[in-house]
Structure 1
Amino acid sequence: MSSSSSADTNGTKNYFVNFNQDTTSLAVGGKTGYQLFSLGSVDHLEQIYSNATEDSCIVERLFSSSLVAVVSLAAPRKLKVCHFKKGTEICNYSYSNTILAVKLNRARLVVCLEESLYIHNIRDMKVLHTIRDTPSNPNGLCSLSSNSENCYLAYPGSSTVGEVQIFDAMNLVKHNAKLMIHAHDSPLAALAFSPNGLRIATASEKGTVIRVFSVTDGTRLFEFRRGVKRCVSISCLSFSMCGQFLASSSNTETIHVFKLEEPKDSPRKNVEEAGWMGYFSTYLPTQVTDVFNQGRAFATAYLPFGGVKNVISIANIQDGLRLLVATEHGYLYIYNFNANEGGDLQLYKKYNLDDIAVDITDGKSGDEKPMKGLLGSYAGIVKGNPSGQMSGTESEKLREMEQATEVPPKDAFQFQDDQEYPPLTQNSDLD
């Protein structure tokens, strides 16, 4: 979820907030830079990095690594890839239009513009593929599976109806446009892959129904009704790491959590177990029986206010399942979540991210280290496939990298070990 990092008319600060792929950290971007917080404890929110060099409107961290992708409000067309533990900028790329979203996994980095997507190899930031002339996507809606074994990219296939285009971002030598799913009659509002990448959850601008589909063949697996009284604007969908639960947030104060229980064996069994209502429903119009068959929320959490964009995640922290809600106004809410009982979730902890101390565990704050090039910074305007233009040892190192990654591996570098960090030296000035 991306939100403006400037203050609104009431003086309220708006932040970009986002959880990383496995909900081990929270990234917060704003006018004074960005911060990374560890989510290893519910009783203490530890700031692990702070950078106060420029306003940040997109901040994406790769799992628990030192790799972070940043876009600033001052240069919304430029993507910076940084090693935050070293305080270095590895590379930066400029694009033809404003960057609306950046998605990462251990093999790919995807940059989303309003009418195109760029797929980079995360090991050397080479542009492997460009998806051009996509339907207008002004909100930068897209999702990349965090599982690089099932490395799928999803984005709207239409700007008028809720079509989801599934794209294979790993096997680029094959036919990439894997599948088109007609998910809703209204345009899409939210997308999310399950942790294994084999399911995708969707919601439309109408906001009443959430559906889950198989990425393999487009089969509809689950359908949940968020509500029937009013249409809402769903801003975030998120699977739990176990894949058993799906959370949904909107512009209301209610967070809904659905349980992904496998459907019954047969429609006949459903009718038999439903009693007279099941029998009666066989004679009702399809639209009515669809409402009867839709699952309802297993659990709900209530924010103290509505109308504020937020991101959500369900994670196991300190041997307990928790629902986390980070809002664009700079608050983190943590709810206890009983996986067996559900119901109304109790708020366990609330953090005001402005109040978190700026001291880092090693006693140094990130803003003491200006970002600088790791092996000599380079920049490029991304218009197509990159071409390396450099000389000497840098060119040799790049050739070695290109040889090592000629066939895209199943997993890229883990980035935890500084020795494994790829020596990116490419000059990407393009035609």
Structure 2
Amino acid sequence: MDLRISRDSPALPSTRTRRERAYESCRDPSLAVGCKNGYRLFSLSSVDRMDCIHQGEESPDVCVAERLFSSSLMVIVSRSTPFRMNIIHFKKRTEICNYSYSSHILAVKLNRQRLVVCLEEALYIHNIKDMKLLKSVLNTPPNPKGLCALSVNHSNSYLAYPGSVTAGRIALYDAGNLTEVTVIPAHSSHVAAVAFSASGSSLASASEKGTVIRVFSVPDGDKLFEFRRGMKRYVSISSLSFSADAQFLCASSNTETVHIFRLQHHSPSTESPSWSGYMGKMFSAASSFLPSQVSDMMHQDRAFASVHLSAAGMKNISALSMIQKVPRLLVASLDGHLYIYNLDLQEGGDCRLVQKHRLYESADENPAASTLEAGGLSYAETVSTNTNQHSSSLTGYSEDGGVKTGELIPDHEFADESLRLDDEQEFPPVSFQDT
């Protein structure tokens, strides 16, 4: 699942704080769930109410379900044809266009300016207005999980993806101007998760070890924050998500704990003269005499808040949002439920479960892809590769472009009010793929 916010909120009176301005601009969270029978779109208007606003049966066994903000534009990829992307107008129940690629589609990312298709060793950047292919980024480092992130702020349209075969480097690309930006040396091991903040000015990442999470500035790649998720065991990070105001970052994994980190720099002048504060200063002074690995560990911040799930070992995706002006943590799990927790923005600590919603009705509808609109990120997993079809056998496939195009999107589709692409209050969803 991906959680993300498109852009900074519109200007409000100066009496409102930055956090209030960011959260007040958010619409109700929404969730897209792909399953064996198609996909479903939900709207979460309150903690106790989650409405199914659409049920699509155009394609079976959906493994990628991406919605353009809260518009009627949906991108669907089915396991039966994993090399083909279908773009549909779900309110009209019509297909707008389709594209086929040279190998399986592992992820699709959208903002108001670009649509990016991620294959294992290539990225294709399209113009969202007419779906014309603008750039083919070929021969990228092997990326079997389809790991990539696209800033939802279309005026700051950065794309991040693995930048090395052997190390945890992140390639940063300007999808708006179609130029390379930089390569960030993020981790010593391979990157497992990446996410942009709503403004696109910060990038969070985690490695395959899952013990350390870092936040970098964009586009220069300077390290801003470093957090330690744990010390005793390696985990598989399944999602990273910023809050709407970029003051918090949540991380979920295959363990029973979801961590929430506060993104703020500590000021020594404001620290209370407590015993813990005194010991912290002592450790900080002593760290200059210790090996670099030990020193780095002592400077890493711990979680501000956390959630303890009822079960471990099951993939879940988390996101931070406001529901009826109250901060919440949302967790969508492959057990077929959406969990909603309270979050105390002042005290942190353990988050309390306040509601649970079912995402599907029967056991044979295991969710294969989902999308939740709330507050901050993007992440994708690999799709099933158990088909033997290859797009090189498709009529019209071009090795030059690496893509076979269907009918282009007619201009009038984007003039339709039901798409509302000019609505600056719309925000993108979260997407979640089963492996």
Which range, TM-score by smaller chain? Answer: 0.7 to 0.9
Q: Indicate the structure whose relative CO is greater, using CA pairs within 8 Å and at least 6 residues apart.
A: 2
How many Å separate the matches in 1 of 2:420 and 2:191?
A: 42
How many Å separate the matches in 2 of 1:335 and 1:87?
A: 34
Give unpaired runs (5+ residues) of structure 1. 2-17, 357-378, 405-411, 422-431
Q: Deviations over 1:73-132 (max 9, x none)?
A: 110000000110111110000101000000011111000000000000010000100100
Q: Give aligned pairs, total.
A: 361
How many Å separate the matches in 2 of 1:281 and 1:45?
A: 50
Contact 1:251 1:306 (8 Å CA) reproduced: yes
User: Which residue of 2 is the match for residue 186 of structure 1?
Assistant: 189
Give unpaired runs (5+ residues) of structure 2. 7-27, 270-276, 363-394, 423-435
Matched, 1:47 2:31: no
Note closer, same or farther for the CA distance 1:20–1:355 as it changes in structure 2 (3 Å cut): farther
1:221 to 221, 224, 243: 224
Structural mapping, 1:151-162, within 5 Å: 151-162=157-168
Matched, 1:282 2:288: yes
Q: State the identity as a percent.
A: 52
Matched, 1:105 2:108: no
Contact 1:201 1:211 (8 Å CA) reproduced: yes
In structure 1, the residue corresponding to 2:82 is in which secondary structure?
A: coil
In structure 1, what residue type is equivalent to 2:207? S
Contact 1:41 1:317 (8 Å CA) reproduced: yes
How many Å separate the matches in 1 of 2:112 and 2:238?
A: 25
User: Which residue of 2 is the match for residue 34 of structure 1?
Assistant: 39
Structural mapping, 1:125-204, within 5 Å: 125-172=131-178, 176-204=179-207
User: Which residue of 1 is the match for residue 392 of structure 2?
Assistant: none
In structure 2, what residue type is equivalent to 1:241? A
In structure 2, the residue corresponding to 1:76 is in which secondary structure?
A: strand
Q: Deviations over 1:163-222 (max 9, x none)?
A: 0000000012xxx11010000000000000011001100000011000000112111000
Instruction: Please state how far the C-alpha of 1:159 moved relative to its aligned partner.
Output: 2.5
With the length of structure 2 as denominator, give the TM-score of the two structures.
Answer: 0.77
Instruction: Please state how far the C-alpha of 1:328 moved relative to its aligned partner.
Output: 2.1
With the length of structure 1 as denominator, give the TM-score of the two structures.
Answer: 0.78
Write out the 4+ residue segments of structure 1 that deviate beyond 6 Å after TM superposition.
Answer: 386-390
Structural mapping, 1:8-19, within 5 Å: 18-19=2-3
Contact 1:19 1:25 (8 Å CA) reproduced: no
Note closer, same or farther for the CA distance 1:94–1:265 as it changes in structure 2 (3 Å cut): farther
Note closer, same or farther for the CA distance 1:187–1:342 as it changes in structure 2 (3 Å cut): same
In structure 1, what residue type is equivalent to 2:51? E
Instruction: Please state how far the C-alpha of 1:25 moved relative to its aligned partner.
Output: 1.1
Q: Deviations over 1:266-305 (max 9, x none)?
A: 9xxxx99943323222211221111111010000001110
Contact 2:212 2:230 (8 Å CA) reproduced: yes
Instruction: Please state how far the C-alpha of 1:158 moved relative to its aligned partner.
Output: 1.1
Contact 2:196 2:204 (8 Å CA) reproduced: yes
Structural mapping, 1:13-412, within 5 Å: 18-19=2-3, 21=5, 24-53=29-58, 54-172=60-178, 176-264=179-267, 274-355=280-361, 381=397, 383-385=399-401
How many Å separate the matches in 2 of 1:49 and 1:94?
A: 26
How many Å separate the matches in 1 of 2:156 and 2:326?
A: 28
Note closer, same or farther for the CA distance 1:353–1:228 as it changes in structure 2 (3 Å cut): same
Contact 1:241 1:315 (8 Å CA) reproduced: yes
How many Å separate the matches in 2 of 1:415 and 1:297?
A: 45
Note closer, same or farther for the CA distance 1:312–1:380 as it changes in structure 2 (3 Å cut): farther
Instruction: Please state how far the C-alpha of 1:235 moved relative to its aligned partner.
Output: 1.0
In structure 2, the residue corresponding to 1:65 is in which secondary structure?
A: coil
CA RMSD of aligned residues (A): 2.9
Note closer, same or farther for the CA distance 1:385–1:295 as it changes in structure 2 (3 Å cut): same
Q: Which is higher, the Rg of structure 1 or of structure 2?
A: 1
Instruction: Please state how far the C-alpha of 1:413 moved relative to its aligned partner.
Output: 5.8
Note closer, same or farther for the CA distance 1:419–1:348 as it changes in structure 2 (3 Å cut): closer
In structure 2, the residue corresponding to 1:275 is in which secondary structure?
A: helix
